[in-house]
Amino acid sequence: MKVENSRSKRSLSDFLSGSLRIGSRTDLDEFLAEPGPAERVRSAPYQDVFLAIKAVGLADSRELLLLASSEQRRGFIDLDCWRKDSFHMASFMEWMAAYMQCGPEEAAAAARAVDPNLLALFLRNNIRIHALETDEPFPELPLILTPDQRFGIEVTGDAEGGPIARLLLDAIFRLDDSLGYDLIDRVRWDNRVSMEEEAYQSKRLRLEEIGFVDYYEALSIYGEVGTTAAPQIQRALQEEDDAHRASSTLPALLVASLAPGEHLWRALGAIQDSRQAELISQQLAALANRILSVHSVTAGDLAKVKPALEEMRDTLNLGLERLTQGRASLAASALKQQDMLGLFRMGFSLLADLRAQADRVMHRGRLRLQGAQRTLLESPQAELLDGLRRHRPLFFEGVQDSRRAGYRNFRGLADVEAARRSLNEIEALGRNFWNLMGGPEPELTPESLRQVNQDVNDLRFGTLFVTAAVNQALGKPFRPAPIGVRQLQGMLNNPGPTEADARPLADSLRAVAQARLDSLGAETDGLEALNTFVESWCRAGAEELAPLRGESEIIPQWVTTVLLYLSRET
């Protein structure tokens, strides 16, 4: 295993060959000490440099800011200064302030690189322009005069925006006055809405070139495919010329998240051809950028970028495991025959099948009472069903480990099979429970439960079952009809007022359930599917009710496993 992991690491380095691999200030110092850092930065896609700056921190990345080209500087603003279709002024000011700290020349260079509409939008928030007539005295205001003294600029911004505007204008008019006069015209005459819209459309077109597309277009990555997919490597090769602009850093973050033994890890580690490694990196980058578009994640928000890439990783693993039918030895050859988008869709189609099954179970499973918004399912089945019915289904960890209560991505076919088994159990539960009950109770509606300790949305299968079992123990029909508090006390105290052990009570409830099953006779086909649930319900009911033996008062609102009337007189 050690030999295999070592070989994989060496091969995986091919997928990182174009990456700056800067994730901290220490990494940056080491990078700067290596030969040719300027050439390496300027030859890297701007989103690579951008993520390196974000990882190190804008305040500590002065050297990278200085080495970046004009295109890269504009790209930084594209990636970080928009929230969907709205210009994010605070982020823009952070970038401009960082460049001004590098000196007026760098501030002017950054201003030349940025879309002038964005500069004008920023300045409109922070300055007022006065047109000065040569035969009239200047206004008695602290003004920044243009070189020809035709305009006086009053800084009106707050303590944060005002100083940035002042220093930026000073640098621009000292080093590029043509840009300064252009900005004055935009601030004076252009409409704010039209400037923002024009800047947004320009930004959108630039980002589309590297795979960041409109949200609805990005959703196409979730298109479903059949069990097998035709090889698409030729089409991918034809698209190679258009893919050269894609980033390699996003795949590097993906590669860093891989765990030894995963199908994708093995497959990538087996790619020895550098040209194919480059192509796969480009495909991964395009897919990753679309994933970020779907999640509406700003590329600089690393805390959200990583979960999005983990979704991509896990879905690709699913697709690869499905394509190879779980045979890891075939992963590398399968990867050579399948492009990344097709592989992702193949993996997601498994999840889409689960979602469709969950919807069918929900719609025909008799899992919800009339007037209720929530199902009758308990944990973990309730959470599992909710997770599967999302557009991007998630796996509820409580299905495999009762100590866990969170959602995560599906990580392999084993998770898919576990979810499918649970769905089959839920469907059998919904189909057979009402046979056990003798049919649903028409009285269990919001109106009928006004004087009962459980709201219709709080009811669960277990509560209905334990209530029916207690009714039968009281000599009544096996039905989930509400019970009086005094009746429950009488039943609990009958074996002995000091008997607080839950086991005898659980055994009694099981005996009642078995008697009910025996009484149904030929109608018990399929009821064996309830055995696991019945055991859980009996145990939960006994654990709650046994400590109430001998109590002089039972508060109905505190009881969850039995339907009780709120009034003690009932």
By the 8 A CB rule, do 319 and 345 touch? Answer: yes
Distance CA 409, CA 15 (A): 24
Query: Please, which pLDDT band fits residue 250 given cuts at 50, 70 and 90?
Result: low
By the 8 A CB rule, do 568 and 486 touch? Answer: yes
CA distance readout (Å), 256 to 168, 273, 313, 446: 39, 20, 11, 53
The per-residue pLDDT for range 445-504, each reduced to its tens digit, is 777 788 899 888 899 999 999 999 999 989 898 989 999 999 998 888 875 545 567 888
Distance CA 268, CA 290 (A): 21
CA distance readout (Å), 250 to 18, 246, 270, 410, 431: 11, 9, 20, 21, 47
Residue indicated by tokens 């991505």: 409
Distance CA 467, CA 562 (A): 5
Distance CA 198, CA 102 (A): 29
pLDDT reading at 262 higher than 90: no
Q: How many CA atoms lie within 13 A of 375 on its CB side?
A: 23
Query: Please, which pLDDT band fits residue 136 given cuts at 50, 70 and 90?
Result: low
Distance CA 156, CA 135 (A): 26
Distance CA 248, CA 40 (A): 13
pLDDT reading at 328 higher than 80: no
Distance CA 20, CA 28 (A): 9
Query: Please, which pLDDT band fits residue 231 given cuts at 50, 70 and 90?
Result: very low
User: What angle (nearest 5°) sits at the alpha carbon of residue 547, between those of residues 544 and 551?
Assistant: 120
The top-scoring range by mean pLDDT among 222-226, 299-303, 481-485 is 481-485
SS3 category, 180: helix
DSSP state, 369? -
By the 8 A CB rule, do 25 and 63 touch? Answer: no
pLDDT reading at 239 higher than 80: no
Q: Is 302 exposed, middle or buried (0-12, 13-18, 19+ CB in 10 A)?
A: middle
CA 156 from chain centre, in angstroms, equals 41
Strand locations in 40-150, DSSP E?
Answer: 82-83, 86-87, 127-131, 143-145
Lowest mean pLDDT among 9-23, 152-166, 182-196: 9-23
What is the share, in percent, of the chain residues with pLDDT greater than 90? Answer: 49
Strand partners, 86: 83
User: What angle (nearest 5°) sits at the alpha carbon of residue 75, between those of residues 72 and 76?
Assistant: 90
The per-residue pLDDT for range 420-453, each reduced to its tens digit, is 999 999 998 988 888 888 765 556 777 778 889 9
Two tokens, residue 50:
């951008």
By the 8 A CB rule, do 253 and 289 touch? Answer: no
Distance CA 531, CA 239 (A): 56
Residue indicated by tokens 């004008």: 120
Distance CA 238, CA 310 (A): 28
